């Protein structure tokens, strides 16, 4: 299995992403790898870590996510790879639920998102984003 961390989808992925997705909510599994130091195009804030730059993006992104009816299900540091092998482990895992693929696409292609993406680009070395939905045969999770 080969993988490639990227900051943005390629044209084929964008085309597929823009098509209607599964009915109902989706969960995006985000595997994030941060830069050691923030890398803003204008050279500002070079004293920040990549994680700190990405946190600026995350704070603004969260506002739009909540407005769109989405929610963060989990954020955690990746600490151990139990099965498999990778050269480097991702730094953080984030699970984000969106009402639909269409909602996610609209958010991620909006002018607001493009404006805040400077922090995302400055902070990320790369990532994997995986869309997931529960299988039809899987029972709904019990509420707490």
The answer on pLDDT for 66 being more than 50 is yes
What H or E segment, with its residue span, contains residue 96?
strand 92-98
Of the candidates 95, 106, 128, which has an alpha carbon nearest to the alpha carbon of residue 26? 95
Going by pLDDT thresholds of 50, 70 and 90, the confidence category of residue 36 is: very high
Q: Are 26 and 101 in contact (CB under 8 A)?
A: yes
E-strand ranges in 5-123 read: 26-34, 71-77, 92-98
Residue 85, pLDDT score = 83
How far apart, in whole angstroms, are the C-alpha atoms of residue 67 and residue 70?
7
* 4, 7, 113, 123 from 38: Cα distances, Å: 21, 14, 19, 5
Encode pLDDT of 1-31 as tens digits: 456 666 666 677 667 767 777 888 999 999 9
Q: In the block, which residue shows the tokens 């990320």?
A: 124
**CATH class entry, domain 11-132:** alpha beta
Q: In the block, which residue shows the tokens 């909602």?
A: 103
Q: Where are the domains of the chain?
A: 11-132
Query: pLDDT higher for 75 or 135?
Result: 75
State the average pLDDT for the chain. 88
3-class SS of residue 80: coil
**Facing residues of 92 across strands?**
32, 77
How far apart, in whole angstroms, are the C-alpha atoms of residue 135 and residue 142?
16
Kindly report the pTM of this predicted structure.
0.82
């Amino acid at each position: 299995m080969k993988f490639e961390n990227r900051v943005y989808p390629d044209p084929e992925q964008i085309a597929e992403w823009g098509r209607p997705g599964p009915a109902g909510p989706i969960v995006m599994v985000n595997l994030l790898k941060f830069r050691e130091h923030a890398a803003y195009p204008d050279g500002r804030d070079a004293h920040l870590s990549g994680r700190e730059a990405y946190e600026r993006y995350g704070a603004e992104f969260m506002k739009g996510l909540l407005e769109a009816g989405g929610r963060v299900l989990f954020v955690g540091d990746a600490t151990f790879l139990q099965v498999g092998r990778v050269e480097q482990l991702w730094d953080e895992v984030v699970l984000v639920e969106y009402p639909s693929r269409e909602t996610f696409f609209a958010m991620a292609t909006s002018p607001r998102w493009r404006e805040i993406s400077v922090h995302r680009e400055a902070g990320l070395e790369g990532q994997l984003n995986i869309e997931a939905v529960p299988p039809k045969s899987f029972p709904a999770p019990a509420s707490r």
